[in-house]
Every structure is written in C-alpha cells, then in structure tokens.
Amino acid sequence: PARGFHGPMQRIVIELKLQRGALEGVISQGLAQTASYASQVGADEAHLVIFNRDPEVTWEQRIWETDRTVEGRGIRVWGA
C-alpha cells in the first residue's frame, strides 16, 4: 500500500532485443539478462523477444517461439 499497489501483483519480465549477428548469440546473451531481471523482481513469468529487421528475411522465418530454461527458470523466447 505504501508504494501505491493494492492487492496481488503479477510480475512479468519482457526483454526486447534486436538481432545483430548470429541468432544463438543474441538468444544466449538475452536469456542471461532476462533471467537476472526476473530473479531481481521475483517475476512469475519471463519472456525474451528478438526482433529481426533484415528485409530479406520473410515473416514466416521471423515469427517463431520456443521455451528455454536458465538457472531453473523457464523463459519463453519469441522471434519477431
């Protein structure tokens, strides 16, 4: 109440990254960062969204999702 919150809170971390270079490198770095943020705030959910702005990549190739686990925490990874 002192911080202006009333009732239960749902904490969700959503980390956004631009894909520069190899996808697995961006995912690896993003997962570590997302897991750290989620632990800091006690998040219930964690998501990593990676945007591919390469005009030669089709939307069918850009849109995907997968689940990864880092430090025992499940993180949903999205391609956009």
Boundaries of domain holding 70: 12-79
Residue 2 lies in a domain: no
Residue 26 maps to a domain: yes
pTM reported for the whole predicted model? 0.85
Q: Confirm whether 1 is domain-assigned.
A: no
> Is 29 inside any structural domain?
yes
Structure-token pair, residue 24: 């697995």
Residue 71 falls within a domain, yes or no? yes
Q: Which residues pair with 67 in a beta bridge?
A: 76
pLDDT in tens, the chain (80 residues): 666 667 666 689 999 999 999 999 999 999 999 999 999 888 989 999 999 999 999 999 999 999 999 989 999 999 99
Residue 63: CB atoms within 10 Å? 11
Q: Is residue 6 part of a domain?
A: no
Q: How many domains in the chain?
A: 1
Residue 59 inside a domain? The answer is yes
Q: Is residue 4 domain-resident?
A: no
